């Protein structure tokens, strides 16, 4: 880790490989550390750890194609991207999805769009408008 981390999050994934690839390519995080049971992704000041969920929990979870939106959590990750349009294409090619453009909205100085990763975890992308 070369930069201090000011914020971060952990996602427990049934399959860390596609989830890690998704967060590398859609919001542009980079691998800082990788082991068989977890991957640490970072951007300046932020760290996302993708952890292999315990087998006893993983066997109870079914990941479908396309993934079912898992909205039963009070937390949503937010990532700043240069282009929501470009991120939408990347998300689809990596097994996730962004909401349709007619579901985007403006919040303060950002264009905002929600989406899901390959396991259905909900996240939000923001594109700076100024």
The pTM of the full predicted model, rounded to 2 decimals, is 0.91
Question: Is residue 130 reached through a cis peptide bond, with omega within 30 degrees of 0 on the bond before it?
Answer: no
Phi, psi of 42 (to 5 degrees): -145, 155
Annotation: CATH topology of 7-128: 2,3-Dihydroxybiphenyl 1,2-Dioxygenase; domain 1 (3.10.180)
- Judged against a pLDDT cut of 50, whether residue 2 lies above it is answered with yes
Q: Average pLDDT for residues 107-127, to the nearest whole number?
A: 97
Q: Average pLDDT for residues 58-62, to the nearest whole number?
A: 93
Distances, alpha carbon 77 to alpha carbons 11, 35, 102, in Å = 10, 23, 21
pLDDT digits (tens, 9 = 90+) for 3-27: 688 899 999 999 999 999 999 999 9
d(CA 57, CA 86): 34
Q: Average pLDDT for residues 31-40, to the nearest whole number?
A: 97
**Domain ranges for the chain:** 7-128
Percentage of residues of the chain with pLDDT beyond 90: 90
- Residue 1 banded pLDDT, cuts 50, 70, 90: very low
């Amino acid at each position: 880790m070369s930069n201090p981390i000011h914020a971060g999050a952990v996602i427990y994934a049934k399959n860390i490989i596609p989830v890690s690839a998704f967060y590398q390519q859609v919001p542009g995080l980079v691998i800082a550390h990788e082991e068989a049971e977890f991957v640490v992704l970072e951007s300046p000041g932020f760290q996302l750890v993708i952890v292999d969920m315990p087998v006893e929990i993983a066997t109870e979870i079914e990941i479908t194609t396309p993934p079912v939106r898992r909205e039963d959590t009070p937390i949503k990750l937010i990532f700043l991207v240069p282009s929501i349009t470009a991120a939408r294409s990347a998300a689809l090619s990596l097994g996730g999805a962004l909401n349709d453009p007619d579901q985007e909205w403006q919040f303060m100085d950002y264009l905002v769009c929600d989406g899901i990763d390959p396991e259905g975890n909900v996240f939000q992308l923001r594109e700076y408008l100024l």
